[in-house]
Structure 1
């Protein structure tokens, strides 16, 4: 069997934790900060762990994760 390829878009956007969960950057933080509240901006720092439903979709694109 040949090696499976990882989707390049998923490789750049997501990381897998040691326990197999999927980490990603916070949504809604790319532009338009002027219209967001300070509380929203503060809470969207760093990374977040995807929900199980979303993680299942992402893991299909990362076969050796």
Structure 2
């Protein structure tokens, strides 16, 4: 049986916490920022925990 290889692109986009939760940067802060209010862009900074519906798929991609 071949080796399980983790998806290197997904590994760069998400991080696992110590308890196994998946954390990533919040979406919506890459482009078209002039049209967005500064309060909105400040709110989009930092990392957020991903939805539980996505965790199973992402853990499979990470090889965990």
One fold, TM greater than 0.5?
Answer: yes
Show structure 1 runs of 4+ deviating over 4 A.
none
Q: Tell me the TM-score normalized by structure 1.
A: 0.87
Give 2:43's aligned residue. 43
User: What is the RMSD computed on CA atoms of the aligned residues?
Assistant: 1.3
Q: Tell me the TM-score normalized by structure 2.
A: 0.88
Deviation at 1:2, TM superposition (A): 5.3
Deviations 1:18-62 (A, max 9, x none): 111101011011111101111210111111110100122111101
Deviation at 1:3, TM superposition (A): 3.8
Q: What stretches of structure 1 of length at least 5 have no aligned partner?
A: none
Q: What stretches of structure 2 of length at least 5 have no aligned partner?
A: none
Give 1:58's aligned residue. 58
Give 1:11's aligned residue. 11
